[in-house]
Amino acid sequence: MTLRLRSQTLRNVMAYWQLRGARATLQHALSEIAKMRRRQPDKSFASIVGGELFDRDRTVAFDHEPRVSIIICNLDGLPHLPALCDALTAQSYTNFEIVFVDNASTDGSPDYLRERFPTAKLIRLTRNLGFAAANNVGYLAAVGELVAFLNNDTVPHEDWLAELVSELRRRPFAGSAVPKVLFNRFFSRLTITCTEQASLSATTLLDSLDYRKVFVDEHELNSEEDIAINASLTLVLPQQENPVIFEFRSAGELARVRIQREQRTVASGYTSRDTHLRLEIANSWLSVAHWYRVINNAGSTSHRIFATADRGYGEIDASQYDRRTVVDYMCGCAALVRRSALGAELPFREEFFAYFEDSELSLRLRRRRFPILYVPRSVVLHTHSATASTNSTFRSYLIKRNRLIFMYHRVPVALRRALLILAVLREHGTDRRRKTLRLARRVFQLYALARDPKLLAGECNDQALRDALLLVANAPVPTVPRKRVCIYNDYWNSCGGGEAHALEFARYFMDKGIELTLASKSSIDVARLSMLFNIDLQTVLLFTKPDFCSADTQHFDLFINSTYQSTLVSRAPYSMFIVSFPSRKSSKAFRSSYFFAFNSDFTRDWSSRFWGETNGAVIEPVVREIGMAADLSAKRNLILNVGRFSNRGHAKNQHVIARAFIAALEANPAANWHLVLAGTLDQTSRVDVEYFGKLLETSAGYPISLVEGAEKRDIAALYAQAKVYVHAAGLGVDSEERPELSEHFGMTVAEAIHAACYVIVHNSGNPPFMVQKHGFGSTYQSEGELTRMLAEMIGKNDLTVDRPPRPGCEKAFAPEVFTRKLAAALQSIGFTP
């Protein structure tokens, strides 16, 4: 048979090669092969590599290690957290974050988790929302491409997460991966034989246990009714230091009872109808030779008609479920879910509160053709029913109620009325007086009521059944997916003007209540962005992927690319590109995939030169925290310039402004004017520090102030006082040959116009467009022309201009103007928030 390397595998390898280099690719390949050999020790090296590379159903995972968000829902779970935290610390897969959602605990468990994991996302709820709603809250705060739901009473093995992630990487079309879940105790096995029919007191047995898990012939003992013993039965009991107490009573005259462990009698005695037999059996570490693990869940399967069941529940783990396979349903206590498989929906339906919410999620995944993978090499120990005890009334109520809700969603629509009628009839099934004719009349009556489950609920006496019918009536089916918007930027952490402009788009969508995702190829410092730009990003989803590509854009309803000079093609239904300055080369597919939001008229002009005609509009940045002076006559004879102190890159040329001002003063010795140069200084740059030192030398002895590192409010105060703003960026640059070095927008010029300053700008880049369109001022071509202009102005000892500020100039860059323009742009492409 001819073997042919899969094209997808080759693309994965080449992508990893380009991203990481040849050496890292070879190291990764050897690491992956070593993992394969550990998983399949019985196979040869050639068969493993051949199977992974040439099997058309499998691919080698050469992409990045996906970020995983582990969501832990907690309610007074402090006794379980030390073991859980130790297990998470020991995980072999380390690219994960912890999202801890606390349902109003009173035992201090949130503080304990914060102490153990200071960087975890801790969400404190003011009341108990339930397992489903709390996990949804955590999901909204999670940033991972994969999301793990982990109970607080679990202890995952060190490879729990690594095995699940590996399986989802190898099976790109799978929606979820689930581990083998074992009870968090060792168990011993006892055999009880009786010569006559007898009974065992379940109440006495359960009361003697620290961990109330007993399995009778592989079925859990979950009631306190006596257990009938006809000839023999097998019990599986949890390990404990205290003795286990058995109490027997015979149904006949006399019966001999014998308890055996591993075919050795450990206790025996006689009982009769009138006398009971009480035996105490040691079940501690030292008294038992063979201990077993008992299966809680090996994936879930369909059970009876439209119901679910834990696969392997109550069975001793003897490797009978050690084969990877596709299962019908997941167990939500330790499942890993692919975020993209959920689309725009939340993972759980909140009306479930707890129990069966994971089955309903599984149902949605399967209907979307996302299979659920069972991964037996991933193992989790589970205490089980730690928050709600096994026999609690509330737990029984939730299970009964939610079973009907789940079955309602599970059955075909045509059978839903019949299901509800059957549930109501079953409640009244003990009425023996009901004859066939009366039963038929009752069915027709209920069938008419079943059109509205609320009316049918009035026929029920059982609280769980009545609540289930009311929830079915009120919950919309199916849920309407929320619209998803993504803003992509590879340079979020630079926190520059482009990022500030992009965050205004983010602010717009957050105010609309739309699910917003910030995406990048590297990690995003949300806390720094929030602090610098005064925006609350706590509800924003974060998506980071080193090889972010066009395929990733199609998961969103609206994709906004704000990366400087990016040429990424969008495949989203609606797309927008925030253009700071256009790239010289671009593909036709790129230009046709976006609506272009130009940040300035200058940018739009050069975009048309490089790209030709495109679909777009100018949406200028917003000026915040800079206000217009209440009384313009109160402005001082102050000339202002704001910008970083540097003569590199987009140089602000403060030295030119200082020289021109000094020359103007020397021409007008009696003038009473002051120059303020304000901005930031990179203390780590030797070149910038030296430039700042030369400015100090130049301005010595003149009314020139250098303000370094001023607060935003201090800069706003300077704008309010200044009559003139001088801008020199672009001076000395050939804007025709190197337009990218010109001022693409000019935020400080916009702030000056907003504050009603008379602006003097170099005739390059976007500032001349702004002066003509919004403000009042003039332009110059050279340093000499700037000097003559300043000398003429300050010689009058007051500012006289050809025209006053245009009406409304203080609102030219206001948030409401931005909102109006963005809303019009979205309407033009057909996207409705």
How would you write 416-430 as a 3-class SS string?
A: HHHHHHHHHHHHCCC
Q: In angstroms, rounded to a whole number, what is the distance separating the alpha carbons of residues 697 and 787?
A: 20
Mapping DSSP onto H, E and C, the string for 567-613 reads CCCCCCCEEEEEECCCCCCCCHHHHHCCEEEECCHHHHHHHHHHHCC
Taking each continuous run of H as one helix and of E as one strand, the counts in the chain are 27, 35
Averaged pLDDT, 706-729: 88
The secondary structure element, H or E, covering residue 132 is helix 131-141
pLDDT band at 224 (very low <50, low <70, confident <90, very high): confident
For residue range 609-631, what is the model confidence (pLDDT) as tens digits? 999 988 999 999 888 766 655 55
Residue with tokens 């880049």: 765
pLDDT band at 414 (very low <50, low <70, confident <90, very high): low
Structure tokens at 236: 């599986």
Alpha carbon distances (Å) from 127 to 10, 108, 291, 395, 711: 51, 15, 41, 18, 40
The pTM of the full predicted model, rounded to 2 decimals, is 0.54
**pLDDT higher than 80, residue 499:** yes
Averaged pLDDT, 222-240: 87
**pLDDT higher than 70, residue 478:** no
Whole-number pLDDT of residue 388: 47
Q: Which of 240, 239, 234 is nearest to 218 (CA)?
A: 234
Q: In angstroms, rounded to a whole number, what is the distance separating the alpha carbons of residues 21 and 318?
A: 44
For residue range 304-334, what is the model confidence (pLDDT) as tens digits? 666 778 899 999 999 999 999 999 888 888 9
CB 178 within 8 A of CB 335: yes
How much of the chain exceeds pLDDT 90, in percent?
Answer: 37
Q: In angstroms, rounded to a whole number, what is the distance separating the alpha carbons of residues 676 and 673?
A: 10
Q: In angstroms, rounded to a whole number, what is the distance separating the alpha carbons of residues 329 and 796?
A: 84
Q: In angstroms, rounded to a whole number, what is the distance separating the alpha carbons of residues 154 and 384?
A: 8
CB 758 within 8 A of CB 776: yes
Contacts of residue 322, Cβ cutoff 8 Å, sequence gap at least 6? 180, 376
Whole-number pLDDT of residue 413: 64
Whole-number pLDDT of residue 60: 36
For residue 814, give the DSSP letter: -
Specify the amino acid at residue 654.
Q
For residue range 110-134, what is the model confidence (pLDDT) as tens digits? 889 989 998 888 887 777 888 888 8
The secondary structure element, H or E, covering residue 97 is strand 96-102
Q: In angstroms, rounded to a whole number, what is the distance separating the alpha carbons of residues 805 and 640?
A: 17
Whole-number pLDDT of residue 368: 82
Contacts of residue 281, Cβ cutoff 8 Å, sequence gap at least 6? 190, 243, 244, 246, 259, 266, 267
For residue range 189-213, what is the model confidence (pLDDT) as tens digits? 999 999 888 999 999 999 999 888 8
Q: In angstroms, rounded to a whole number, what is the distance separating the alpha carbons of residues 575 and 596?
A: 9
**pLDDT higher than 70, residue 429:** no
Q: Where are the alpha helices (DSSP H) in 263-356?
A: 339-342
Q: Which long-range contacts (CB under 8 A, 24 or more apart) does 766-773 make?
A: 766/600, 766/601, 766/602, 766/603, 766/742, 767/727, 767/729, 767/730, 767/743, 769/600, 769/601, 769/602, 770/600, 770/746, 773/601
Q: In angstroms, rounded to a whole number, what is the distance separating the alpha carbons of residues 337 and 433?
A: 51
Per the model's pLDDT, the better-predicted residue between 416 and 429 turns out to be: 416
For residue range 120-171, what is the model confidence (pLDDT) as tens digits? 888 877 778 888 888 888 887 787 889 999 999 999 999 999 999 999 988 8
Whole-number pLDDT of residue 149: 95
Whether the upstream peptide bond of residue 478 has omega within 30° of 0, thus cis, is yes
For residue range 653-674, what is the model confidence (pLDDT) as tens digits? 999 999 999 999 998 887 889 9
Q: Which of 433, 458, 432 is nearest to 445 (CA)?
A: 458
For residue 670, give the DSSP letter: T
Structure tokens at 795: 């010689």
CB 247 within 8 A of CB 203: no
Whole-number pLDDT of residue 529: 85
Whole-number pLDDT of residue 275: 87
Q: How far is the first Cα of the chain from the last one, in angstroms, to the nearest whole number? A: 55
Whole-number pLDDT of residue 407: 73
Per the model's pLDDT, the better-predicted residue between 737 and 390 turns out to be: 737
Q: In angstroms, rounded to a whole number, what is the distance separating the alpha carbons of residues 471 and 243?
A: 46
For residue range 347-366, what is the model confidence (pLDDT) as tens digits? 887 777 777 787 788 888 88
Per the model's pLDDT, the better-predicted residue between 677 and 800 turns out to be: 677
Per the model's pLDDT, the better-predicted residue between 790 and 395 turns out to be: 790
**pLDDT higher than 90, residue 517:** no
Count of alpha carbons within 13 angstroms of residue 269, beta-carbon side: 15
CB 626 within 8 A of CB 751: yes
Whole-number pLDDT of residue 641: 94
Whole-number pLDDT of residue 416: 65
Alpha carbon distances (Å) from 695 to 56, 733, 784: 68, 21, 19
Whole-number pLDDT of residue 41: 67
The secondary structure element, H or E, covering residue 368 is none
**pLDDT higher than 50, residue 7:** no
pLDDT band at 574 (very low <50, low <70, confident <90, very high): very high
Backbone angles phi, psi at 535, to 5 degrees: -135, 135
Q: In angstroms, rounded to a whole number, what is the distance separating the alpha carbons of residues 160 and 171?
A: 17
What interhelical angle do 712-721 and 747-754 show, nearest 10?
60
For residue range 42-69, what is the model confidence (pLDDT) as tens digits? 666 666 555 554 443 333 333 468 889 9
Question: b or e along 674-703 (b: 16 or more beta carbons within 10 Å of the residue's beta carbon)?
Answer: bbbbbbebeeeeeebeebbeebeebbeeeb
Whole-number pLDDT of residue 55: 41
Per the model's pLDDT, the better-predicted residue between 224 and 39 turns out to be: 224
Q: In angstroms, rounded to a whole number, what is the distance separating the alpha carbons of residues 204 and 535?
A: 61
Lowest mean pLDDT among 392-396, 519-523, 694-698: 392-396
pLDDT band at 470 (very low <50, low <70, confident <90, very high): low
Q: In angstroms, rounded to a whole number, what is the distance separating the alpha carbons of residues 428 and 120?
A: 51
Q: What is the CA radius of gyration of the chain?
A: 36
Average pLDDT, the chain: 82
Instruction: Supply angle C-alpha 49, 172, 490, rounded to 5.
Output: 110
